[in-house]
Amino acid sequence: MGQKSGKKQKDFTQLLDEDINRLTKNTSYSREQIQEWHQGFLHDCPYGKVDKKTFIDVYKKFYPEGKAANFCTQVFKAFDSDDNGFIDFVEFIVAVNITSHGDAKDKLQLAFEMYDMDKNGKVISKEYKTNYLSREIKTIFH
């Protein structure tokens, strides 16, 4: 009585060998590059994850004239692949890889996920006509 379930909480500050192996297989980064990215990520996100508010605040610093809140909400949803309310290092590095090194198919998938605001697997006219995404998504392809 009084004990929590036996399920162990993941320590998001730790980069496990299985994470590195998965990332080296699914990104263009080497083991050393992943470890370097991880150190930088922990410097900026000491708990090993970033929530939506922090994500938006950081984006606003780089693009103060943009509509950061709307755009970042959609980007955040696309990057938060397990839909747990934060972006961990693995999700972050996969997203960076897609936007920096991904092929057209990967980038189109990311763009689709950003337009599919309700995550129902379809993009309807209302979602597509959201202008703040159109301009921002163009940057993914350059």
Question: Is there a domain that residue 8 lies in?
Answer: no
Give the range of the structural domain holding residue 70, as residue numbers without chain letter.
29-141
Q: What is the pLDDT of residue 48?
A: 95
Question: Is there a domain that residue 23 lies in?
Answer: no
Q: Which CATH number do you get for residue 103? A: 1.10.238.10
- Tell me the Ramachandran region of residue 48: left when phi exceeds 0, alpha when psi lies from -120 to 50, beta otherwise: left
Q: Which two tokens stand for residue 21?
A: 């192996």
Number of domains forming the structure of the chain:
1
Exposure string of 70-83, with b = 16+ CB inside 10 Å and e = fewer, is ebbbbbbbbbbeee
For 46-90, write each residue's pLDDT tens digit.
999 999 998 888 777 776 666 667 777 878 888 898 889 999 999
Question: Is there a domain that residue 17 lies in?
Answer: no
Q: What angle do CA 95, 136, 130 make, to 5 degrees?
A: 115
Question: Is there a domain that residue 21 lies in?
Answer: no
